[in-house]
Amino acid sequence: MQQAKAKARADESAAARHVALLRAELARRGLDGFVVPHGDEHQGEYVPPSALRLTWISGFTGSAGVAVVLAERAALFVDGRYTLQAAAEADDALFEQVHLVEQPPHQWLATALPAGARLGYDPWLHTPNGVEQLRQACAKAGAQLVPCDSNPLDAVWADRPAPPRAPVIAHHADFAGCSAERKRTDLAQSLTAEKLDAAILSAPESIAWLLNLRGGDVPFTPLPLSFAIVNRDATVDLFMDDRKLSSETRKHLGNAVRAAAPAAFGPALDALGGKSVRLDPATTPSWIADRLTKAGAQIAPGADPCALPRACKNSVELDGMRRAHRRDGAALVRFLAWLSGAAGDGKTTELSVAETLEGYRKNGEHYRGPSFPTISAAGPNAALPHYHASEHSNRPLDKGQLYLVDSGGQYLDGTTDVTRTIAVGPAGPEERRRFTLVLKGHIALARARFPQGTTGSQLDSLARQPLWTEGLDYDHGTGHGVGSYLGVHEGPQRISKLPSVQPLLPGMVLSDEPGYYKTGAYGIRIENLLAVRPWPGPGERETLEFETLTLAPIDLALVERDLLTDAEADWLNAYHARVRGDLTPLLDAGTAHWLAEATRAI
């Protein structure tokens, strides 16, 4: 506790120095303010240390947010997940804290900017859509929005880490299920069909998918950071630090993929003058759009053309996901069996348990590391859906509490993400009732059948209905897309209250993760991954259903049998029988015995 406070004070003074340095640099450039987003040039969820500008300027370490530094005042914008963390990490004497969703930066700027002010931004770090919002805000305030040729924060960030240079390796066809050549040819055909000459790819997961490449430039996701231009003749121009490419990887890429240094990207965009170029204005840096426009290219705004084919996994990728989930399930069962003996002993804490879990996963075949930071939360800490245990917040798993663990692994053949909520000792009637309501919602979504064309937002209420009936709900989405040894959070599909126009399609993988959170008391979430598949039954319409991929027992100590319908109990029993059948051959006798009890029919 003392240590955490001392560290916070030291960080505060660092932030004060950094803000002063940036203000001096802005003054030198004739600017009155600058926008510092969390995102990097690729708008990814995880960014390399060289892109942690928001942390450098404010001290805030969360994975989403924006800072605006003006001459006299500064603001830090974070969403509800990070309100408490930002208050603890950032100095409120330097940064006013503003709610990112309730008052986004462009709204705040419209009133905070003095008339005549010049607001700078780095066009690599903002999308055309984002720049347009800033432009309108500046117009309202009578201020001017100014693109910076070079980032003024980088200019004063003396010990900025070098950009990452992790080796890039081929993702084997045994895992990818489709050659890069075939993917390039298919993509070129769709460009031709849309009368496009080329498409810009700025999302590293799209480039990784298209060229069957994986890397290690950011934490938790095997991404090689790069940009690419896909041409209608099925060739690709790939821009990345060529020290990342071994001769073996170059051989894998072949002659149709021309690798070049990042400095060659600008001239390659200039060469697209007069051509029709697909670009996603919601995810691509505005620097690219500006350069193309200047070169006389015709920008055809539209979604990243790799996003949808990447989301619809082929049969090899789905088989890989199933195998990865069996290994991951076996590791999780060994962990849960251990936890059933250790929890509540007074020594087991959120941090020690998370470390033990990683130990069980670590030796699994094809395991490459966690797919996101583990959420290991006991008692009231679990009421924060995105909680991350620190030395400062670490709690023991006490008897009578609920323990929530949300974790996942990256395997060469698949990506996992699973949440289980466990009773440590006996659980109270309210906890059991609400856990069962969450379970009913989870089952309702897992059992859903729906016609072709149905979107995730149309299915979302299935998972909430049992909670809504008792005046309860949860404030996060029900499901996100998951990549195949790629990002654990990937679109374009999702299941949420937010409107979505993307129908669910066969091969898509999504999470099913309803929850319930009681502030200051406890939190519940049950999460499995599901794959969309055609329903083989009779009927008049093409109908889809889900296959559950995740294999791990759901804590029966928290299930109120009387609240379940027979159909729901049948689902739970069949699921548990499958978990037992699939995992028992992978377990030692003692763990298998524990699993048999944990998956008994109710």
Residue 97 or 381 having the CB closest to Zn ion: 381
Q: Assign residue 54 a region (left: φ > 0; alpha: ψ between -120 and 50; beta: otherwise).
A: alpha
Residue 561 in tokens: 């049998």
Residue 148 in tokens: 């910076």
The answer to the question of residue 350 lying near Zn ion (CB under 5 A) is: no
Residue 85 or 415 having the CB closest to Zn ion: 415
Query: C-alpha 327: how far from its chain's center?
Result: 22
Shortest reach from residue 386's CB to Zn ion, in Å: 10
Residue 244 in tokens: 């990342």
Site for Zn ion in 521-540 (CB under 5 A): 527
What distance in Å separates the CA atoms of residue 422 and residue 557, rounded to the nearest whole number? 8
Shortest reach from residue 329's CB to Zn ion, in Å: 15
Shortest reach from residue 223's CB to Zn ion, in Å: 18
DSSP E strands in 425-503: the ranges are 449-451, 479-480, 494-495
Shortest reach from residue 514's CB to Zn ion, in Å: 11
The 8-class DSSP code of residue 60 comes to -
Q: Across the beta sheet with 118-121, what order do the strands follow?
A: 96-99, 74-78, 66-70, 33-37, 118-121, 144-147
Shortest reach from residue 84's CB to Zn ion, in Å: 20
Site for Zn ion in 391-430 (CB under 5 A): 406, 417, 419
Bridge partners, 523 (sequence order): 517
What distance in Å separates the CA atoms of residue 455 and residue 474, rounded to the nearest whole number? 20
Site for Zn ion in 100-139 (CB under 5 A): none
Residue 185 in tokens: 């040819």
For the window 226-265, what string marks contact with Zn ion as x by the rule CB under 5 A? ----------------------------------------
Shortest reach from residue 371's CB to Zn ion, in Å: 9
Binding segment for Zn ion (CB under 5 A), chosen from 111-119, 199-207, 420-428, 503-511, is: 503-511
Shortest reach from residue 417's CB to Zn ion, in Å: 4
Helix ranges restricted to H, 255-363: 265-270, 286-295, 307-311, 315-342, 350-362
Shortest reach from residue 385's CB to Zn ion, in Å: 10
CB 142 within 8 A of CB 305: no
Residue 368 or 433 having the CB closest to Zn ion: 368
Residue 137 or 510 having the CB closest to Zn ion: 510
Tell me which H or E stretch contains 2. Answer: helix 2-28
Residue 410 or 419 having the CB closest to Zn ion: 419
DSSP 24-49: HHHHHTT-SEEEEES--TT--SS--G
Shortest reach from residue 372's CB to Zn ion, in Å: 7
Residue 221 or 511 having the CB closest to Zn ion: 511
Binding segment for Zn ion (CB under 5 A), chosen from 81-89, 129-137, 222-230, 510-518, is: 510-518
What distance in Å separates the CA atoms of residue 71 and residue 583, rounded to the nearest whole number? 61
Shortest reach from residue 278's CB to Zn ion, in Å: 30
Residue 183 or 480 having the CB closest to Zn ion: 480
Residue 217 or 417 having the CB closest to Zn ion: 417
Between helix 204-211 and helix 180-193 the angle, nearest 10°, is 120
The answer to the question of residue 376 lying near Zn ion (CB under 5 A) is: no
Residues near 581 by Cβ (< 8 Å), separated by ≥ 6? none
Q: Assign residue 274 a region (left: φ > 0; alpha: ψ between -120 and 50; beta: otherwise).
A: left
For the window 17-56, what string marks contact with Zn ion as x by the rule CB under 5 A? ----------------------------------------
What distance in Å separates the CA atoms of residue 244 and residue 249, rounded to the nearest whole number? 9
Residue 401 or 511 having the CB closest to Zn ion: 511
Residue 55 or 415 having the CB closest to Zn ion: 415
Number of residues that make up the chain: 602
Binding segment for Zn ion (CB under 5 A), chosen from 87-95, 424-432, 511-519, 536-544, is: 511-519
Residue 33 or 385 having the CB closest to Zn ion: 385
CB 82 within 8 A of CB 65: yes
Shortest reach from residue 467's CB to Zn ion, in Å: 18
How many residues touch Zn ion (CB under 5 A)? 5
What distance in Å separates the CA atoms of residue 493 and residue 442, rounded to the nearest whole number? 18
User: Which residue from 511, 528, 548, 599 is in contact with Zn ion, where contact means CB under 5 A?
Assistant: 511
Q: Which residues bind Zn ion (CB under 5 A)?
A: 406, 417, 419, 511, 527
